[in-house]
Amino acid sequence: MATEQELKKINPLHKEFQNLLDKDFENRKLKENEIIKATVTEITNNFIIVDCKAKMEGMIPIEEFKNDDELTKLKVGSQIEVYLERIESFKGEIVISRDKAKKMKAWKKMEKIFETQEEMTGYITGKVKGGFIATVDGLPCFMPSSQIDVRPLKRVDHLMNTPVKVIATRIDKNRGNVCVSRRAVLEKSKNAEITEALKNIKEGDVVENAVVKATTDWGIFLDINGIDALLHVSDLSHGRVKKPSDLVSIGQKLKVKITKIDSKTNRVSASIKALTEDPYENIEKKYKVGEIYEGEVTKIMDYGCFVRIDEGIEGLIHNSELDWTNKNIRPNKVLSVSQKIKFKIVNIDKDTKRISLSYKATLPNPWDKIKDKVGEEVKIKINNITDKAIFGDLVDSGLSGMLHYKEISYEENIDDLKKFKKNETLNVKILEIKDDKIKFSKRSLDKDPLDFFKDHNKKIGDVITTRIHEVLKTGVKVSIDKDKKLIVTIRKADLAKDAADARPEVFSSGNALDAKITELDIKNRRVKLSVKAAQIDEEKSLIAKFGEGATKSGATLKGIFEKAIGKKGKKEK
């Protein structure tokens, strides 16, 4: 093989050709990581071969041309743009990419279009979590599921790999991510149509042929000359409507009035009740507070019953106005739907269109029958026993009242509650009736032990004889009456004048004990006795009687007592 020196000798034009070639390469300004133009020189089954005006031709895999219709239009001599990755690889080959060129060009275009919000053509090529992949000018973009159409689609097969119009909604330059929306294009087109159609209607217009498109629990969707409008359930009638679907059917034509047009959102609101006179306008002329009328029960709720008073007018009977004896009674236990009843109007609020009714006001009031029975004996049936009281219903009227544990007996012992059971019948006395509340008393049927002081004309300062009922560590309990129903505790400090004699253990049950009444409050049921006070009073009395002469003679108090007792003994003999 001839060397380069030998070729120069053989072919004198070689040097001139080399100079021309070097000069040509100097004019070819190729830079890596940029988009350059290339000419297709050959199309094979696997590659597209192009001339990039480099030292050698470049080869691009044919798969990079299959994402759109470019391959069908491609022919030898076609000019295409490619991305130059490397001018010369380690194999001495030029590295180019049609796919990267399209993506780079598309990204630059996307940045400009994102600012102007222009529409672009893309292809939905695949499905991913949360949405779809839409390829726009070779650039893969993410389309959320909610942005594929104006309403949820069950199937999207008809949109796959077909050209669709989209708008870029978000671009992340750092991550190279783009979000697109087909829905925005559809809404933009629809809004343009709606804006044009809205020029033909205005607020206050009456439409004769509004078509029912759909119904929900809260309203009806209408088609008014191609414009979607909402007829809210509150605008169907002046009265209460249970379900809009009970009044209309799909495809039905309605006469409505345009009540509101929102120019920003292109939302239209319609009303049927605006076509009729408001029945609340002159309601005070037809219905008076305090009067009784007839109506029909239309609905029963947990908190009360609704009654139709007139066409488009309803009132509410609250639970507390259903029954005299039970304010929390279940409405369905008193009334039923479609039942015709009498009611009394309690209040009319014209501004809020609310009318309060009373059913129990049309019934006999059992409270009127018992208001004069305070102090009388009655029978009650126990319906509940709590920690501190018994609740029962009057057998003859069913009205409920309370029997406090302190009113069971005069001992006021809370353990008395354990002696009674639910559904047991008791004889009690009505103690008080106030604000529809009754207080009962069982002990009032028995004689009050405190009447002892009244019967025996005893008052504060008097000394009475008691019997020791029980000895305690802190004092003693004594019974004042013979039946031992009036028991009073005498404290240790009041048992004797001298501390040595005030020890409870020196006393025995059954022994008599004289004590002075130091406190007597019949109303609050407080009685206080003191043996010490009785002894002091007796001592003062003896000193006052014998002490003047005894003091001068040097006699002791013991002698005075013995002398006085001795004289008393002689008189008794």
410, 466: one domain: no
Is the pLDDT at 534 greater than 60? The verdict is yes
More confident of the two residues 573 and 68:
68
Distance, CA of 304 to CA of 322 (rounded, Å)? 8
The CA-atom distances, in angstroms, between 136 and each of 97, 113, 141 are: 17, 12, 7
435, 490: one domain: no
Is the pLDDT at 203 greater than 90? The verdict is no
Domain boundary among 311, 338, 362: 362
Mean pLDDT of 506-521: 88
233, 333: one domain: no
State which amino acid sits at residue 558.
Answer: K
More confident of the two residues 316 and 374:
316
Residue 571 has a pLDDT of: 46
Query: Residue 473: what are its φ and ψ, rounded to 5°?
Result: -75, -25
Which residue bears the tokens 């003994």? 569
Task: Report the chain's terminal Cα–Cα distance, integer Å.
Answer: 178
What does the pLDDT look like over 72-99, one tens digit per residue?
778 888 888 888 887 776 777 788 888 7
Query: Residue 316: what are its φ and ψ, rounded to 5°?
Result: -115, 130
Does residue 111 form part of some domain? no
318, 376: one domain: no
Is the pLDDT at 418 greater than 60? The verdict is yes
Is the pLDDT at 38 greater than 80? The verdict is yes
Could you tell me the residue range of the domain that residue 468 belongs to? 447-573
Task: Quickly count helices (H) and strands (E) in the chain.
Answer: 10, 30
357, 439: one domain: no
Does residue 347 form part of some domain? yes
**Mean pLDDT estimate for the chain:** 82
Domain boundary among 330, 345, 362: 362
Mean pLDDT of 371-390: 89
Contact (Cβ atoms closer than 8 angstroms) between residue 236 and residue 208: no
314, 397: one domain: no
User: Which of 84-98, 225-239, 290-304, 382-396 has the lowest average pLDDT?
Assistant: 84-98
As given in the structure block, the two tokens for residue 490 are: 């005498």
User: What pLDDT band is residue 210 in, cutting at 50, 70 and 90?
Assistant: confident
Distance, CA of 480 to CA of 450 (rounded, Å)? 10
- What are residue 499's DSSP bridge partners? none
Is the pLDDT at 555 greater than 60? The verdict is no
Is the pLDDT at 559 greater than 70? The verdict is no
What does the pLDDT look like over 251-288, one tens digit per residue?
888 888 888 887 777 788 888 888 888 888 888 888 99
* Angle 157-161-166 from CA coordinates, rounded to 5°: 95
- What are residue 392's DSSP bridge partners? 382, 401
Does residue 31 form part of some domain? yes
Distance, CA of 522 to CA of 527 (rounded, Å)? 8
Does residue 108 form part of some domain? no
Distance, CA of 350 to CA of 531 (rounded, Å)? 75
Instruction: Kindly report whether the global pTM for this prediction surpasses the value 0.85.
Output: no
More confident of the two residues 28 and 126:
126
209, 242: one domain: yes
72, 122: one domain: no
Give the residue from 242, 355, 362 showing the smallest Cα distance to 307.
355
160, 231: one domain: no
User: What pLDDT band is residue 321 in, cutting at 50, 70 and 90?
Assistant: very high
Does residue 147 form part of some domain? yes
Give the residue from 546, 513, 551 showing the smallest Cα distance to 531.
513
Q: Which long-range contacts (CB under 8 A, 24 or more apart) does 385-389 make?
A: 385/417, 385/420, 385/421, 385/422, 387/417, 388/414, 388/417, 389/417
User: What pLDDT band is residue 487 in, cutting at 50, 70 and 90?
Assistant: confident
Does residue 193 form part of some domain? no
Give the residue from 155, 140, 62, 153 showing the smallest Cα distance to 102.
140
CA atoms within 13 A on the CB side of 92: 2
Residue 573 has a pLDDT of: 41
Mean pLDDT of 301-328: 89
Longest CA span, the chain: 185
Give the residue from 145, 35, 43, 150 showing the smallest Cα distance to 96.
35
Distance, CA of 244 to CA of 224 (rounded, Å)? 18
Query: Residue 303: what are its φ and ψ, rounded to 5°?
Result: -100, -5
Which residue bears the tokens 């809370």? 414
Q: How many domains, the chain?
A: 6
State which amino acid sits at residue 30.
Answer: L
Distance, CA of 214 to CA of 222 (rounded, Å)? 7
Q: CB burial class (10 A; 0-12, 13-18, 19+) of residue 282?
A: exposed
Residue 291 has a pLDDT of: 92
Beta strands 437-441 and 400-404, pairing class:
parallel
Mean pLDDT of 470-478: 90
456, 558: one domain: yes
Does residue 258 form part of some domain? yes
As given in the structure block, the two tokens for residue 443 are: 């002990």
Is the pLDDT at 373 greater than 60? The verdict is yes
CATH number, position 487: 2.40.50.140
Give the residue from 423, 400, 432 showing the smallest Cα distance to 325.
400
571, 453: one domain: yes
Give the residue from 548, 560, 476 showing the smallest Cα distance to 512.
476
Domain boundary among 362, 394, 416: 362
Give the residue from 375, 377, 383 showing the smallest Cα distance to 326.
383
Mean pLDDT of 530-544: 84
Q: Is 509 helix (H, G, I), strand (E, B) or coil?
A: coil
Contact (Cβ atoms closer than 8 angstroms) between residue 490 and residue 530: yes
Give the residue from 189, 373, 206, 332 showing the smallest Cα distance to 266.
189
Does residue 9 form part of some domain? no
458, 543: one domain: yes
As given in the structure block, the two tokens for residue 25 are: 């390469």
Contact (Cβ atoms closer than 8 angstroms) between residue 246 and residue 216: no
Is the pLDDT at 169 greater than 70? The verdict is yes
Query: Which is it for the CA torsion 306, 310, 312, 313, positive or negative?
Result: negative
- Per-residue burial over 317-356, b = 16 or more CB atoms within 10 Å of its CB, e = otherwise: bbbebbbbebeeeebeebbeeeeebebbbbebeeeeeebb
Is the pLDDT at 317 greater than 90? The verdict is yes
